[in-house]
Structure 1
Amino acid sequence: MIRRPPWRTALGVLFTAVMLFPVYWMVNVSLTPPERMRRSPPDLFPVKPTFDGYARVLGEQLPYFGTSLLVASGTVVLTLTLAAPAAYALAKLRPRGRRPLEFALLVAQMIPGIIMALGFYGIYVALGITNTVWGLIFADSTVSVPFAVLILTAFMSSVPDELVQAARIDGAGPLRAFWSIVLPASRNGVVTAALFAFLWAWSDFVFAATLDSGGALKPLTLGIYRYIGNNNQEWNAIMATAVVASVPTAVLLVLAQRFVAAGITAGAVKD
């Protein structure tokens, strides 16, 4: 058993504490009464904790949670529906122009979201589909699909060609080989792509603010934003909403961490 020097352990603990401090401060502010919010120096611990912010979350933000959950789940379904077959074609069918297409997918991720949002707004207004759940799902998928195709392509490339060839010899067509052989073997990559698609859609603000059109449909990010006024920032409610909004993503990350680690590692493999 290799023993590490104590200073390395202490350094690791220090770095971890620095990275987690914003999370702690978010929880601390969510429990701080409004009258103690502007104290100098601020309270490092909630001296007189209050749960008024969390009560407002349960009373006002639940519809926004439902909208965000619906948009994020729809984005995951649409992303995998489009990305998995495309990745299989690039990894195993190897069509002409595969390399330029992969480069185009990489470049697509570099386009600023605000530029895409403005383009979508003009199209959505012309079609009359602003302030719709499936409109937000489509917009969020344009961000997650290129990433999902790239990571699934890298992962499916690591699946031995002999497995696919054996399935073809047994009479399986390309679709059956994809569904029965390659996709199950790429489980870690699928979970990774799905998780990142969910996180992107869950935390989206630009598309939601641009394509909402002032309607009643609002995801959670806009629900938080409504607490911020010109002369009043309700930090207690803001941070309480942020804490509650972080719970689903934290649970997903904990449950899927081993799949994500394997999927990201596979994404670094060159074919």
Structure 2
Amino acid sequence: MSRRLLFGTPLRDWTRTVIGCVIVAIILFPLYWMTNVSLQPRAALLATELRFLPIPPLTENYVRVFGEQAGSIGTSLFIATTTAIVCLLIAAPAAYALVVFRLRWLTLFVLLLLIVQMIPHVVVANALYAIYARAGLLNTHLGLILADASMGVPFAILILRAFIVSLPRSLIEAALVDGATHWGAFTRIILPLSRNGLITSGLFCFLFAWSDFLFALTMGTQGKIVPITLGIYKYIGNENTSWNSIMAAAVLASIPPIVLLLAGQRYITAGLVGGAVKE
């Protein structure tokens, strides 16, 4: 059967390429429009005509917004980084224990971890607020870090457990036979081999904390701790909204996650795929 060709390439390949380009364009359009609006003056946003290109581009929005939100970006970096570290410190030993030790209710426990991921954040926030009010953790970095970690730890455990299960169990058994303790086998063998899983879990926990708005709004009642999500929210007023400032702040807030995802892309792919294959 002859294949239909277009410029020497099978028509089916051209169709797939066009469909892929359309999907990519749809995904990237919000980022383009966000950047476009951020480079326009306020008067242009109130005009009836749509401007698809910021001519001339106004970079003053970024200078002003960065000056106003530099502290919020630093706060978010500290909270997100610390949250990722806390999640890994808890999730890695827990995942190892779930793999090595024969727990009677293991399946039920894993199911509970999945259920925890389905609980709406607003329900968790209301419960944590009552606890934090009594414990004195409101308006503190520690309180916000623990709140973000409460949602990141179950996810990290699931990712790391799937990755550790894919490793040959004989490695752990050989280490124990040679006289190593479970802690030694965990720190010297499992952790180095689980680098991809650790980076994947850490990045996702970082993104959870970086994009958190509800916990930051609920736990920071006095406005002492203002992460970038709350910083963007402050540009929304009752009578007017500074859309160019919002978009400029959103672009700045997108830079750290984009850089981390690009830098850790190969680790994320290996970490997610690694847990799907058992040797």
Is the shorter-chain TM-score for this pair beyond 0.5, marking a shared fold? yes
User: Per-residue CA shift, 1:75-98, capped at 9, x if unaligned?
Assistant: 011100100000000112232211
1:34 aligns with 2:42: yes
Other-structure match for 1:66: 74
Question: CA shift at 1:215, angstroms?
Answer: 2.6
Question: CA shift at 1:192, angstroms?
Answer: 0.6
1:186 aligns with 2:194: yes
Other-structure match for 1:106: 114
CA–CA separation in structure 2 for the residues paired with 1:105 and 1:254: 29
Other-structure match for 1:20: 28
CA–CA separation in structure 2 for the residues paired with 1:79 and 1:223: 25
Which of 200, 218, 221 pairs up with 1:213? 221
Question: CA shift at 1:269, angstroms?
Answer: 4.5
Identity of counterpart residues, as a percentage?
49
**SS state at 1:120 partner:** helix
Task: For 1:79-228, list aligned pairs within 5 A.
Answer: 79-228=87-236
CA–CA separation in structure 2 for the residues paired with 1:94 and 1:149: 17
User: Per-residue CA shift, 1:174-230, capped at 9, x if unaligned?
Assistant: 000011111111111111100000000000000000000123211110000000001
TM-score (normalised: structure 1): 0.96
Alpha-carbon contact 1:84-1:149 (below 8 Å) kept:
yes
CA–CA separation in structure 1 for the residues paired with 2:99 and 2:185: 13
TM-score (normalised: structure 2): 0.93
Question: CA shift at 1:52, angstroms?
Answer: 2.2
CA–CA separation in structure 1 for the residues paired with 2:20 and 2:223: 47
Question: CA shift at 1:270, angstroms?
Answer: 7.0
Residue 114 and residue 270 in structure 1: after superposition, are their counterparts in 2 closer, same or farther (change >3 A)? farther
CA–CA separation in structure 2 for the residues paired with 1:47 and 1:94: 65
**SS state at 1:40 partner:** coil
Letter in 2 for 1:85: P
CA–CA separation in structure 2 for the residues paired with 1:178 and 1:134: 28
**SS state at 1:94 partner:** coil
CA–CA separation in structure 2 for the residues paired with 1:242 and 1:58: 11
**SS state at 1:129 partner:** coil
Letter in 2 for 1:193: S
List runs of 5+ in structure 2 lacking aligned partners.
Answer: 1-8
C-alpha RMSD over aligned residues: 1.5
**SS state at 2:264 partner:** helix
Letter in 2 for 1:145: V
| Higher Cα Rg, which structure | 2
Alpha-carbon contact 2:160-2:201 (below 8 Å) kept:
yes
List runs of 5+ in structure 1 lacking aligned partners.
Answer: none
1:239 aligns with 2:253: no
Alpha-carbon contact 1:33-1:48 (below 8 Å) kept:
no
Other-structure match for 2:5: none
